[in-house]
Structure 1
């Protein structure tokens, strides 16, 4: 019997990608509301209660409302918004860090943010291994394609006279900071410097490190080896064992991908390192992660339907 799946918010960028990618998969029966019903509270409640699993692709307040509408049902939920990423009772949907079994058994799963996906993939394993200190003042420099900003930002970047670069988060209170700090096990909040460029999709997340100022004085080779070992069995995340490349590019029309590649670059003296994650903000950073979690929750092969 097919698994009944409802995507609440299927008209947005992430929802459209998920719906498109699940069509034709015989494991699922998609419950679809037409344009006249998709904002109707009663229709949404009925769909949420009829589904085995619901994926929420909504703004934060609407996602919280959807969870309330689903109360009293046995529906399992994947929330792609940021509403529940550090909320009690929710499982953080990063299987490589949290554990596949935790997600497989969860009732409520919150998809990670796109920027935190890159940061946590780099930093969390190294803090756990004791190679990086938990009390270090980490900085995150990151750039994303404009599709991550939703329909309004997409229209702005595709209009005549579009900006060449957009930096934001200058109030130091970006909502991604809480999950970065919490799931990396850090004492201090990170300094987060996000930006957007005129490429539709793709993302580079970088964490610069002054290794020589750390008490343990880790080397780039140690960091690289630890990440390679941590992700050795992953089909989604690859940690490069060598420096590998001399530059990293975001292509304006890059193909969709659900993979993520991690790099560790170090200088000859070993005092400095740059940790870099390259991913698709709409792939492992959004819809790809939701599909990966969906597969795990349904007992299906983890990479079914992923673009790797």
Structure 2
């Protein structure tokens, strides 16, 4: 019998991509609401409580309200794609490679990671856990994303030609991803986060530059690369590229959806300067693809079923 899935917020970019991925799969039956009922609280309450799994693709406040509409006795499990519950006690952080697939599979409430934090945590969390990088270091994150991550208004600005080619933002130094990055990497201090948007629809590069020679234990670039390769060994989704010879990384304007993530460690000749880089699809492993991966686990299905894993091959 197929699992009943309700996507609350199915008209947004993330919700649309999830629906497209699930529609051809016989393991799922999608509960849908007509346009005139999508914002009706009664209709949403009924759909949320009818579902085996509800996927929330909503603004933070609306996501919190949706959770309140769910009767605990209904048995509905939740994947929240907003940032509302990413550091909330009692919620499982939906990054299976970091928290473990069994923990996600057993969870009642799963918070989908943010796109930028997925790249940052994929690089930093395993190395802090291994003791190769210090938890009390002042980490800096430089990142660029495709404009699809900015919501409908930004998409319209770029596609109408109103937006500039390069858009840097987050200058209030209070981006909503900061608590998530600090908490799930196990850091003592918030990171210094410098995000930007570039004129491609999808794709993301997240970079953490480090002066390893200034760190107390003087780690080496090769040690970091080896530790990441060992941590993700066997993963079909996250791949560590061990050949550091690439001279550039590209985000292509016509890129196809991709649910994998590539990690790179670029070190200088002495190994004491390093640029840790994650390349991923902000709508794939950074959003919709991660939700589908978590949904597979919740439903007892193969973790990568229905995922598009081009760069992980």
TM-score, normalised relative to structure 1:
0.99
Q: Residues 200-247 of structure 1, C-alpha deviation per residue, up to 9 Å, x if partnerless?
A: 000000000000000111111000000000001100000112204110
1:29 corresponds in structure 2 to 29
Partner Cα distance (1:160, 1:13) in 2: 19
Instruction: Map residues 78-89 of structure 1 onto 2, 5 A cutoff.
Output: 78-89=79-90
Question: C-alpha separation between the residues in 1 aligned to 2:118 and 2:245?
Answer: 22
List, as ranges, runs of 4+ consecutive aligned residues in structure 1 with deviation greater than 6 Å.
none
Q: Secondary structure at the match of 1:290?
A: helix
Whether contact under 8 Å (1:138, 1:190) holds in the other structure is yes
Aligned residues: 308
- Partners in 1 of 2:35 and 2:162 — Cα distance? 32
Cα distance in structure 2, aligned partners of 1:160 and 1:3: 42
* Alpha-carbon distance in structure 1 between the residues aligned to 2:257 and 2:208: 24
Deviation at 1:271, TM superposition (A): 2.0
Q: Is the 8 A contact 1:258 1:289 kept in 2?
A: yes
**TM-score (normalizing by structure 2):** 0.97
Matches within 5 A, 1:183-262: 183-262=184-263
Which deviations, in whole Å up to 9, do the C-alpha atoms of 1:168-196 show, x marking residues without a partner? 11111101010100000000100000000
Root mean square deviation, CA, Å? 0.7
Q: Which ranges of structure 1 fall in alignment gaps of 5 or more residues?
A: none
Q: Is the 8 A contact 1:224 1:242 kept in 2?
A: no
Partner of 2:45: 45
CA distance in 2, matches of 1:59, 1:71: 21
Q: Hey, what does 1:105 align to over in structure 2?
A: 106
Q: Unaligned 5+ residue runs, structure 2?
A: none
The answer to whether the 8 A contact 1:115-1:205 is kept is yes
- Partner of residue 137, structure 1: 138
Residue 125, structure 1, aligned to residue 163, structure 2? no
